[in-house]
Amino acid sequence: MWKLRGYLKPYWKASLLAPLFMLLEVYMDLLQPKLMASIINEGVLRGDLPHIQQTGLAMIGIALIGLLGGIGCTIYSSIASQCFGADLRKDLFQKVQSFSFRNLDRIPAGSLITRLTNDIVQLQNMVQMTLRILIRSPFLALGSLIMAVTISPRLALVLAIVLPILFLVLYVLIRFAFPLFSMVQNKLDQVNTVLQENLTGIRVVKAFVRSRFENKRFQAANQDYMDIALRASRVVSINMPVMMLILNLSIVAVLWFGGHHVWEGSMPVGDLVAFINYVTQVLMSFSMVGMILMNVSRAKVSADRVNEVLRTESEITDRPQASDAAIRQGRVTFDRVSFAYPNQQELALRDISFTAEPGRTVAILGATGSGKSSLVHLIPRLYDTTGGQVLIDGTDVRDIQLQHLRTHVGMVLQESFLFTGTIRDNIRFGRPDATDAEVKAAAQAAQAHEFIARMPGGYDTLLGQRGVNLSGGQKQRISIARALLVRPAILILDDSTSAVDLGTESRIQRALRELMRTSTCFLIAQRISSVLDADKILVLDEGRIVAEGTHAELYRSSAVYQDIYRSQLGKEELAHG
């Protein structure tokens, strides 16, 4: 947690004022038992009503000053803790944005959500408690202890016996609680992961009538979380009853021995009452410290999890002298490239070598799992190669600034992801400054303008989360328009027309050839009819290029390509014949 202290520095005034106001409240609270003793000794026992009234008014005034101190502390501790949490959450989110795909493969999305929400809330609460209770309790305990010793050093021996017992109890409880809190957060990660998967794939769940299975899966994760949370709560719940038992036994001891002193006349009744109040304040303060230390244990787990994300460096970063002007034409060369996913020994790509010329279309065919998407992910450095080089205009992509590289690479992924907002905002996602005319031109090229124009709000139609109010084909076309608007030097279409009909796909390809005539285009497709006009076709099998050439060349020389052509095109001709 100490590593996160820098997030409080901008709010040092609030962080300083909060404990100062709390010290004011503590000082006022320490005066009250003394004044109460004065009322009893000087007022009640002597029948001095004016003294009772004056001291009573003084107690009310002191209580009001203490109230102001408490209010001030609450206000400033809230400012400091909320701003601390907001800044930490912002930096954590920005850190996640910088992660490579490999980093995101290692830390699941559900865990990141927990860290951005629950873990930071734990730390916010800890900061506020530190500025309030963690200041109040030790100072109140120390002040009350000093006041108790000044009243009766002999009775204070009771505290000398009780306090070590309190420390021992706190140590044992924290020792047991800390590992449980770590398990609680891990189980919460699992709950969030299952929840996120279910909500993301709710349509698939309903389509396959798997609600009962998903309910059981969530119930299992939820039950695990509840079980470990209950175990942790049981340990925490022991704290207060044990503390109250020790407190009550201490008061009994003070009354027992203090009563003898009062009976012998060596101690006024008011002093005994004040002493009991101070003892109560000491023990209650230590009880609160115990509760805080429990929360500190939980916050430490959260801090470790947050620091883990902040410490994680993206494996894909700019090299010291990376170029910001390397991409001119968009010629892409794969030079003996190999690639493996994290924690997998088997290569997804093996010894891939080819060149894609500017203004040409390279189509990539292959069975599921053959490495098609893995190949194109290496061009904008969503992953880095395991071996070999990917070059653009003769420069290794690792020597090109990421901003420059990805600005010049337009990509339409397999899953068409749209954001909550208007259709116009989604198309302008890569170029927020694009004009309405440019947005419309991109939509027309993607064959999206007609259905957008028919919608009630046109380009200002609001889309739900992930574009739920659009069909699959409509989402794909908007995604294509989003990529085209950037006018990239390299355009990658990763099976991005699978949900549109052949006629629409043909029109999209004609528009692409016209609009992107100088760009290098990579086209991944499942339908062989989509790639017949490509300048070069790569056929992948188990991560290797097994055939390369134009349609005519491959049809003459590649048995694999011939099988794909006959099996697919024959069916399509039958379907459309």
Question: Is 413 contained in some domain?
Answer: no
pLDDT per residue over 470-490, tens digit each? 888 888 888 888 888 888 899
Confirm if 333 and 391 have CB atoms less than 8 A apart. yes
E strands, 340-488, are: 349-356, 361-366, 387-392, 395-396, 409-412, 421-422, 462-463
Q: In the prediction, which pLDDT does 18 show?
A: 93
Query: 171 is written with which tokens?
Result: 């140590």
Instruction: Give the pLDDT score at 1.
Output: 64
CA distances from 186 to 110, 175, 177, 219 (A): 10, 19, 15, 16
pLDDT exceeds cutoff 60 at 51: yes
- Domain end call among 470, 487, 504: 487
Same domain, 168 and 255: yes
Nearest to 357 by CA among 323, 386, 393, 322: 393
Q: Quick check: 55 pLDDT over 80?
A: yes
Give the residue from 446, 472, 487 where a domain finishes: 487
Residue 553 lies in a domain: yes
What's the domain range around 425? 418-487
Q: Residue 62: pLDDT band by 50, 70, 90 thresholds? A: very high
Q: Please count the helices (runs of H) and the strands (runs of E) in the chain.
A: 19, 12
> Residue 33 corresponds to which tokens in the numbers above?
């038992």
Same domain, 75 and 193: yes
Query: Which of 323, 324, 330, 348 is closest to 338 using CA atoms?
Result: 348
256 is written with which tokens?
A: 């027992």
CB 32 within 8 A of CB 63: yes
Is the pLDDT at 350 greater than 90, yes or no? yes
Residue 498 reports pLDDT greater than 70:
no
What order of strands is seen across the sheet that includes strand 332-339?
349-356, 332-339, 387-392, 395-396
d(CA 383, CA 316): 7
Apex 477 CA angle, 474 and 480, nearest 5: 155
Distance CA 54, CA 39 (A): 9
Residues 6+ apart with CB under 8 A from 336: 351, 352, 353, 387, 388, 389
Q: What is the pLDDT of residues 529-565, one digit of tens each?
A: 778 888 999 999 889 999 899 888 888 888 888 888 8
Summarised one tens digit per residue, pLDDT across range 505-525 is 778 888 777 777 788 999 888
Residue 476 shares a structural domain with residue 501? no
Identity of the residue numbered 86: A
* Number of domain units in the chain: 3
Same-domain pairing of 111 and 74: yes
Q: Which residues of 220-248 are buried (b: 16+ CB within 10 A; e: fewer)?
A: ebbebbeebbeebeebbeebeebbeebbe
Q: What distance in Å separates the CA atoms of residue 350 and residue 275, rounded to the nearest whole number?
A: 81
pLDDT at 574 over 70: no
Alpha-helical regions (H) of 499-550: 502-515
**Residue 400 half-sphere exposure toward CB, CA atoms < 13 A:** 26
Q: Is residue 317 part of a domain?
A: no
Q: Are residues 125 and 183 in the same domain?
A: yes
- pLDDT tops 80 at residue 199: no
For residue 82, what is the domain's CATH number? 1.20.1560.10
Same domain, 496 and 568: yes
Q: Give the E-state strand segments of 413-508 in sequence order.
A: 421-422, 462-463, 490-494
Spatial separation of the C-alpha atoms in residues 427 and 484, rounded to whole Å: 9
**Whether the predicted pLDDT of 33 surpasses 70:** yes
Do residues 354 and 302 lie in contact, with contact meaning Cβ atoms separated by under 8 Å?
no
Do 400 and 428 sit in the same domain of this protein? no
381 and 241: one domain? Answer: no
Q: Is residue 316 part of a domain?
A: no
Low-confidence winner among 17-26, 296-305, 386-395 (lowest mean pLDDT): 296-305
For residue 21, what pLDDT is reported? 94
Q: Same domain, yes or no, for 481 and 522?
A: no
Q: Please state, rounded to an integer, the average pLDDT across all residues of the chain.
A: 85
Phi and psi angles of residue 422, each rounded to the nearest 5 degrees, phi first: -80, 165
Cross-strand bridge partners of residue 490: 409, 520
More confident: 573 or 465: 465
- What's the average model confidence in pLDDT over 431-456? 89
Which secondary-structure segment (H or E) carries 310? Answer: helix 269-311
Amino acid at 337: V
Q: What is the CATH number of the domain that holds 370?
A: 3.40.50.300
Same domain, 281 and 302: yes
* 390 and 456 co-located in one domain: no
Could you tell me if residue 424 is inside a domain? Answer: yes
pLDDT, one tens digit per residue, over 293-336 is 777 777 888 888 889 889 888 888 888 888 888 898 999 999 99
How many Å apart are CA 510 and CA 504, to the nearest integer?
A: 10
In the three-class reduction of DSSP (H, G, I as helix; E, B as strand; rest coil), residue 356 is classed as strand
Residues of the chain with pLDDT > 70, as a percent, come to: 97
Domain end position, chosen among 487, 506, 535: 487
pLDDT band of 570, cuts 50, 70, 90: low
Contact of 271 with 278, CB cutoff 8 Å = no
Instruction: Give a yes or no: residue 111 inside a domain.
Output: yes
Q: Can you give the pLDDT at residue 203?
A: 64
Reply yes or no on whether the pLDDT at 72 is more than 90: yes
End-to-end CA distance of the chain: 70
The dihedral formed by the CA atoms of 227, 233, 235 and 239, expressed in degrees to the nearest 10 = -170
**Least confident window among 168-172, 228-232, 520-524:** 168-172
Q: What is the pLDDT of residue 65?
A: 94
The answer to whether residue 319 sits within a structural domain is no
Q: What type of residue sits at position 463?
A: L
Q: pLDDT tens digits for 125-156?
A: 889 988 888 788 888 888 988 888 888 888 88
Q: Is residue 576 part of a domain?
A: yes
pLDDT for 81 equals: 93
198 pLDDT above the threshold of 90: no
Residues 332, 238 share a domain: no
Nearest to 174 by CA among 123, 242, 128: 242
- Block residue for tokens 């873990």: 119
Nearest to 192 by CA among 119, 258, 261, 142: 119
- Closest by Cα among 452, 450, 406, 447 to 430: 406
Total residues belonging to the chain: 577
The two structure tokens encoding residue 235: 């340990």
